Amino acid sequence: MNRMPTWQFRTLVLLLLLSIGTPTNTFAQSGRKRVGNVEFPNSGAAEAQPSFLLGLALLHSFEYPEAREAFHAAQELDPDFVMAYWGEAMAWNYSLWYEQNAEAAREVLARLAPTPAARAALAPTDRERAWLAAVETLYGDGDKQSRDDAYERAMAKIRLDYPDDPEAGAFHALAILGTAHEGRDHSTYMRAAAIAEDVFRDYPEHPGAAHYIIHSFDDPEHAPLGLAAARAYSGIAPDADHAQHMTTHIFLALGMWEDVVRANERADAVVDRDRAERGVGPSFCGHYNEWLLYGYLMEGRRVDAMALLDGCHRSAVAESGGMASSFSEMRARYIVDSEDWDGPALSMTADYGDRAGPPLRDAWLEGYVAGMNGDAESAREALVEFRALRPAAEQEMRVDGLTDETYQRRPEVLELQLEGLTLIAGGDDAEGLDRIEAAAALEAQLPFTYGPPAIDKPSHELLGELWLKAGRMEEAALAFETALSRTPGRVPAIRGLQTATSALQAGSASSSP
């Protein structure tokens, strides 16, 4: 097949997009999706470029199913378009979740040609062969960790060989993030941030650069460094629901609750618009709604939070377990942060099928509420149930490949909390506080995880509240300060710190001569 030079097809694509009224500042605006500005010179046919570039921009915003559709459309227009197969295979790799569907990706590559050597022979340039070789490494031999590491090295070489290529920089940053299998590693994340920031500086409308900066900085210590990218990303890709949500990784880490709510409402609006086009009703469960409910609670909007939880409960019941795990998380979050110990949320149930994680969370929640109500017998029963469920839940995490240390050790923290609350409810305050202190000490050792607290009731915050009840204001203030270092702006901790500080100030004033 004859190929036209890169400059000719890019000019042709631009003229084509202008002719259909698409904005001139991006090749990724298809007239249907505004998802960012990307460029990727390649030897594919001119007529396939809009679909390819749309897929590339969607890929950078983790809109994986639509990205695969776009890359497949490019292949239909140009069956020999090597990079379109590369893109579709890449859309089966979920770097930040440390997951991939390797078999599906290998099937995509096999459609191009049956072997890596045969596929390489179809790539007409050294650059395209390098990109294809990198994805072959990603889905090649060995365990996933070793393949992720090898892929990162391949992307490092591409970036070195093509230093002016923004895609090389963006995908190398993402590859680095994908090597942190054991959880957040600041040195790894800062390496990725440095590369992504270089791309963002030179290409401020690049969706991947903004996206990967946010992921690199989405912890309380570094979040201020990601605020500019967060502010920009929603405008870069207004039709990508993940882009709208992703900004809240920074906003939440800074306790910017109004921004958390507004961004997740925008993300839901994009999702619901797409669902409406398919004749499906709005979504009430899922990742965006979990964060939205948390934002509502931090703003004190309990009615809105309850309405969202009620909608998710209806979905969980109607879909026979499909949304039950999300419902379990939202229910626990609502009850803990609203402190509604005897409201209607307590009686909501769902069928979890064979999942072990949600029942474990529910057992913890029952024990937590019982402890808050001073019901020692119910707390003990919940603790027994929690212990019985814990081995299956931990095995489920191993099967699911959830290797993050914080989530692996989360059941240990929760069990210590339940033990402490059960003892306190039974009248043994000293031993109970020791257990809660142990939970707090363990939690403080764990890597930070982005988003709403991985431990539904942060242990230092719980400890602070118990110190308040015991009248030990100095210990309470210190516990709340520690809690806020991990969850900035979290309202219960701020409220507790204010109470402890006011009591200390009043005590100091009364003791003055």
Clarify whether residues 431 and 466 are in a common domain: no
Q: Tell me whether residue 360 is in a domain.
A: yes
Contact yes or no for 455/443 (Cβ under 8 A): yes
Q: Which long-range contacts (CB under 8 A, 24 or more apart) does 470-477 make?
A: 470/429, 470/433, 473/500, 473/503, 473/504, 473/507, 474/500, 474/504, 476/500, 477/501, 477/504
139 belongs to a structural domain? no
Same domain, 441 and 368: yes
Amino acid (one-letter) located at 337? D
Residue 169 falls inside a structural domain: no
Give a yes or no: residue 140 inside a domain. no
Place of tokens 């993030």: 177
* Structural domain contains residue 214: no
Question: Looking at the domain assignment, is residue 12 inside a domain?
Answer: no
Domain for residue 333, yes or no?
no
Last residue of a domain, one of 435, 456, 477: 456
Which residue ranges of the chain lie beneath pLDDT 70? Answer: 1-32, 320-321, 509-513
Does one domain contain both 402 and 414?
yes
Q: How far, in Å, CA of 21 to CA of 15, rounded?
A: 10
User: pLDDT for 437-496, tens place per residue?
Assistant: 999 999 999 988 889 999 999 999 999 999 999 999 999 999 999 999 999 999 999 999
Domain count, the chain: 2
Dihedral, 178, 180, 181, 184 alpha carbons, nearest 10: -130
Cα–Cα distance, 61 to 106 (Å, whole number): 22
Same domain, 450 and 491: no
CA distance readout (Å), 140 to 147, 181, 182, 332: 7, 18, 22, 41
Name residues whose C-beta falls within 8 Å of residue 445's C-beta, 6 or more positions apart in sequence.
none
Residue for token pair 């239909």: 76
* SS3 category, 343: coil
Whether 468 and 452 share a structural domain: no
Looking at the fold, whether 450 and 392 belong to one and the same domain comes out as yes
Please report the pLDDT score of residue 406 as a whole number: 86
Write down the pLDDT at residue 511. 59
Nearest to 350 by CA among 302, 373, 379, 316: 316
Q: Residues 380, 448: one domain?
A: yes
What's the pTM? 0.89
Q: Length of the chain, please?
A: 513
Q: Is 296 helix (H, G, I), strand (E, B) or coil?
A: helix
- Determine the pLDDT at residue 422: 98
Last residue of a domain, one of 432, 456, 480: 456
pLDDT at site 32: 60
3-state DSSP assignment of residue 93 = strand
Check whether residue 366 and residue 411 sit in a common domain: yes
Domain contains 389: yes
Enclosing domain of residue 469: 458-513
The values of phi and psi at residue 100, to 5°, are -160, 155
pLDDT value at position 33? 79
- Cα distance between the two ends of the chain: 94
